[in-house]
Amino acid sequence: MATGTQRLAGLAQRVGAWVSDHQAIRWWLSVLRLGLFQLGMGIALAPITGTLNRVLIGDLYVPAAIVASLMAIHYFVSPVRAIFGYQSDVHRAKGRWRTPYVVLGAVLTYGGLATAPFSLILLGPDSSMPFAVALVVCAAIFLAYGIGVNIVETTYLALVSDITPPRERGKVLAVLWMMLVVGTIVSSIIVGAILENYSPVLLIQVMQGSAVVFAVLTAISLLGRERLRADGTLVSHTDEIRVRLTLVEQLRVVWQQPGLRALFVVLFGGTLALATHDVLLEPYGGQVLGMSVAATTRLTALWGVAMITGITVAGLLLWRGQSPISLIIGGCAVGALGFLVVIAAGGSLDVTVFRGGVVFIGIGRGLFIVASVALIMTLADRAHAGLFIGLWGVTQALAQGFGTVGGGLARDIVQLQTGSILLGYTVVYATSLVILLITLGLIAALRLGRQLREGTVRSPWSGLQDLPGDQILF
């Protein structure tokens, strides 16, 4: 036994020495470990967005607007992103770490993920609790999850911005978002296989297991990323960063930039359109095309593969110097094509055509989201990374919230008025198509691409570090 242990120790030493001698391999392993957080998030979210919504709407007949509202709570509490992003900037400027904010967010996220599946019991037909009371309890669960996921995502991305050189961010972001989608794909395939013999108790067990996986991978991903000295200050190899304005003053500075206002409008519009299918995709497959729970769950895997394709293309093009705005345009165009194909699938009741539309929507969203994050990180300087990324997060979260709730509400209203399930979904997807076309028109009318090339759209704090008399506001 001792000999075997010694051999393993020797092998580990040789592998460690080899990795140390190959800096590129070491760097990629570090990035992959950083991405374990995203992988865990994808694993945990797939059963919620790909299965729980389908069962609540398609099997338990809970109105789509109610389900969409519960799932969208985390979008509407997104202003906490700016608050906690700013506070993490202040702590970072003091020489302290962002990790406590990540831990707080991760704990709340885990609690919400672990308890969310109980909505099946609370909102089900056999619940002993009045529906209104059960709805309040479910709202509290999703509220805790929403606050947590907003805190953890913003401070995590700010930490990534801290430790990633600007020239490497395009590659790193592509890898991180790809791992998020890989987690979604793996989870949806496994969950789809497990749920072939579906039962509510089995789904609850699966979702709680995925929450545990999220917590473990988050710990592995972030352990030791920020190191402290004995006096509690952060070990850093970068220049000192400073926060010079209060949160309100910084928000005012951002609002006074016309180019930034236009940019955030474009990001809001594109995200709004691409989010309308989040809650409705699987119910559409079940109610309109007659697909089983397992089959609609596997749609998430198909969508995820398409997302990876879009993310990979975006990462490669960004690495080669392609403008993020051109990729945002491409994402909107491909997404619009996807919604058009999904509408056609409803008319022909063709599952294959429907899957093709899902692929186009996934590719479009992959292009759009990576280009958006890359653009925001390009515009933000390190001293304001938490706030600026937080503002982007608020913009995209509110857009996703309105898109999710609006999509569910529109489907319910049209179905109620016309008695046609198909028409309810078709109106939602047609609206998404129109919004994407309007977004493309805004990009052209506002000439955002040219403004970025000319430098008229930039961080409002660019160059501020060169001014004398800086003061850090605590």
- Amino acid 24: pLDDT: 67
d(CA 401, CA 77): 10
Q: How many angstroms separate the Cα of 170 from the Cα of each of 50, 211, 375, 381, 393?
A: 28, 29, 10, 15, 18
* 132 secondary structure, DSSP code: H
Residue 212 has a pLDDT of 93
- Predicted local distance difference test score (pLDDT) of residue 360: 94
pLDDT at residue 444, as a whole number: 81
Give the pLDDT confidence score for residue 14 in this predicted structure. Answer: 60
Q: Is the pLDDT of residue 336 over 90?
A: yes
Supply the mean pLDDT for the chain.
76
Question: Which of 309, 288, 308, 291 shows the shortest CA–CA distance to 299?
Answer: 291
Q: What's the pLDDT score for residue 466?
A: 26
Q: What do you get for the CA distance between the two ends of the chain, in Å?
A: 57
Q: Is the pLDDT of residue 95 over 90?
A: no
Strand partners, 234: 228
Query: 219-275 pLDDT, tens per residue?
Result: 898 887 766 565 555 555 444 555 555 556 666 666 666 666 777 788 888 888 888
d(CA 74, CA 148): 9
Options 1.20.1250.20, 1.10.10.10, 3.40.50.720, 3.40.50.620; CATH of 27-220+246-461? 1.20.1250.20
Range scoring the smallest mean pLDDT among 7-21, 167-181, 188-202: 7-21
pLDDT score for 461: 31
Residue 139 confidence (pLDDT) above 90:
yes
Residue 228 backbone phi and psi in degrees, to 5: -110, 145
Which is more confidently placed, 231 or 212?
A: 212
Per DSSP, the residues of 192-204 read: HHHGGG--HHHHH
Query: What's residue 140's pLDDT?
Result: 93
User: What tokens were used for 77?
Assistant: 């509490």
Q: What span, in angstroms and rounded, lies between the C-alpha atoms of 446 and 128?
A: 55
Cα distances from 461 to residues 82, 95, 237, 362, 381, in angstroms, run: 16, 20, 22, 34, 7
Band (454; pLDDT cuts 50, 70, 90): very low
- Residues 123-137: tens digit of each pLDDT: 888 788 898 999 999
pLDDT band at 337 (very low <50, low <70, confident <90, very high): very high
For the entire predicted model, the pTM comes to 0.65
The two three-digit tokens of residue 160, written as one number: 């990534």
Q: Which of 152, 141, 155 is nearest to 106 (CA)?
A: 152
Read off the pLDDT band of 462 (50, 70, 90): very low
Domain ranges in the chain are 27-220+246-461
Give me the residue label for tokens 């700013």. 86
Q: Which residues contact 31 (CB under 8 A, 6 or more apart)?
A: 171, 172, 175, 176
Residue 341: Cβ within 10 Å count:
20
- Residue 378: alpha-carbon gap to chain centroid: 19
Q: Residue 436 pLDDT more than 90? A: yes
pLDDT of 227: 63
Query: How is residue 231 written in tokens?
Result: 């006096």
Q: Regarding predicted confidence, which is higher, 282 or 358? A: 358
* pLDDT at residue 434 is higher than 90: yes
Q: Determine what percent of the chain is predicted with pLDDT higher than 90.
A: 11
Per residue in 151-184, pLDDT (tens digit) is 888 788 777 777 776 667 666 766 887 788 788 8
Task: Give the Cα separation of 150 and 156 in Å (integer).
Answer: 10
Q: Please state the rounded mean pLDDT for residues 447-468.
A: 42
Q: What pLDDT does residue 459 have?
A: 36
**According to the model, what pLDDT value does residue 388 have?**
63
Q: What is the spatial distance between Cα 469 and Cα 121, in angstroms, rounded to a whole number?
A: 60
Three-state secondary structure call for residue 143: helix
Q: Strand locations in 289-400, DSSP E? A: none
How far is Cα 207 from Cα 51, in angstroms, rounded to an integer? 10
Report pLDDT digits (tens) over 37-93: 889 888 888 788 777 877 888 778 888 788 888 888 887 887 787 777 777 777 666
The residue that leads in pLDDT, 319 or 434, is 434
Q: Which of 224-228, 337-341, 444-448, 454-458 has the lowest mean pLDDT?
A: 454-458
> How would residue 213 be classed by pLDDT, with cut points 50, 70 and 90?
very high
> Rounded to whole angstroms, how far apart are CA atoms 403 and 411?
12
pLDDT tens sequence across 363-411:
998 888 878 877 766 665 455 555 666 666 677 777 888 887 888 888 8
Report whether 144 contacts 108 (CB < 8 A): yes
Cβ(266)–Cβ(371) below 8 Å = no
Q: What is the pLDDT of residue 5?
A: 64
Q: Which residue has the higher pLDDT, 151 or 304?
A: 151
**Per-residue pLDDT reduced to its tens digit, 19-44:** 555 566 777 788 888 889 889 888 88
Instruction: Return the pLDDT at 458.
Output: 39
pLDDT above 70 covers a percentage of the chain that reads: 74
pLDDT band at 312 (very low <50, low <70, confident <90, very high): confident
Give 173's contacts (C-beta < 8 A, 6+ positions apart): 160, 315, 318, 370, 373, 374, 377
Give the pair of three-digit tokens for residue 272.
């709004």
